Amino acid sequence: MSAKETAEQKLLRIIETTKKAQAVALANAPAAPVVAPKPSGRRFVPGLKHLNLVMLVAVIASLVYLGQEIVSGVSLLREELDIEDAAAVRANDNGLKSSPSRDSEYYLGKVAQRNIFRPYEKTAASANGETNAKAELDKRMKNYKLVGVAWLDVPESATVMIEEVSSGVTRFLKEGDKIEDVTIKTIYTDRVVVGHENEEMVIKL
């Protein structure tokens, strides 16, 4: 009769049996396929070197633009200012400049020349006087011609250039100035209105 198997012997026998079964299963298992490693894709990561290159290109482009602006500004400073062309640009569609503002005394004087509540009757004496005044104005301005009109940013700076034909002398006059006792009344871009003894004459360029 065989001796009874102890608990330690049972545990040892179970472990040995398990090891043998694992060895048999491992021997009978098919071989695992060999997988080739995938090529690792290299990603572009901008660094400090690339940032410095971009900043250098931006600085060079800014310097080139600044140089062009300086050259353009210097060329504009060397150009001559044509006052007549500037005046023509500021003229309105009718070719007239903005009429300058006048004092209230000017308009009161126009009203005081005759009674506006009484009908105007032109007498023979007044007609004869107007004819003489017009002839006198024509005579005074016969030796003068308008050669230019110019002004700056404001209408009050308007100036006319009137040349004396006999001597060739050119005078620069503003509104209110007189020549041969003839007053410069209104200056436009292409003509000037002069007056003498309630008579007016238009002199064109």
- Domain-embedded: residue 100: yes
Total domains in the chain come to 2
- Domain-embedded: residue 68: yes
99: containing domain: 90-111+139-204
Q: How far apart are CA 149 and CA 160, in angstroms?
A: 5
Query: What is the 3 state secondary structure string of 63-107?
Result: HHHHHHHHHHHHHHHHCCCCHHHHHHHHCCCCCCCCCCCCCHHHH
Per residue in 58-111, pLDDT (tens digit) is 999 999 999 999 988 888 888 776 655 555 545 444 444 445 556 677 677 766
pLDDT of 31 reads 62
* Those residues with Cβ within 8 angstroms of residue 133's Cβ, 6 or more apart along the chain or in another chain: 196, 197, 198, 199
Per residue in 4-58, pLDDT (tens digit) is 677 788 788 888 888 877 777 777 766 666 666 666 556 767 778 888 899 999 9
**DSSP of the chain, one letter per residue?**
-PPPPPHHHHHHHHHHHHHHHHHHHHHHSPPPPPPPPPPPPPPP---HHHHHHHHHHHHHHHHHHHHHHHHHHHHHHHSPP-HHHHHHHHS-TTS-PPPPP--HHHHHHHHHTS-TTS-----HHHHHHHHHHHHHHHHHTTTEEEEEEE--SSGGG-EEEEEETTT--EEEE-TT-EETTEEEEEE-SSEEEEEETTEEEEEE-
- Domain-embedded: residue 146: yes
Per residue in 121-140, pLDDT (tens digit) is 555 545 565 678 788 888 88
95 and 73 within one domain: no
104 and 63 within one domain: no
- Domain-embedded: residue 21: no
Per residue in 154-182, pLDDT (tens digit) is 777 889 999 988 888 999 998 889 888 88
pLDDT of 95 reads 45
- Domain-embedded: residue 42: no
Strand partners, 200: 195
- Domain-embedded: residue 25: no
The token pair at 49 is: 């070197």
- Domain-embedded: residue 20: no
pLDDT of 1 reads 45
CATH number, position 178: 2.30.30.830
pTM of the model: 0.37
190 and 104 within one domain: yes
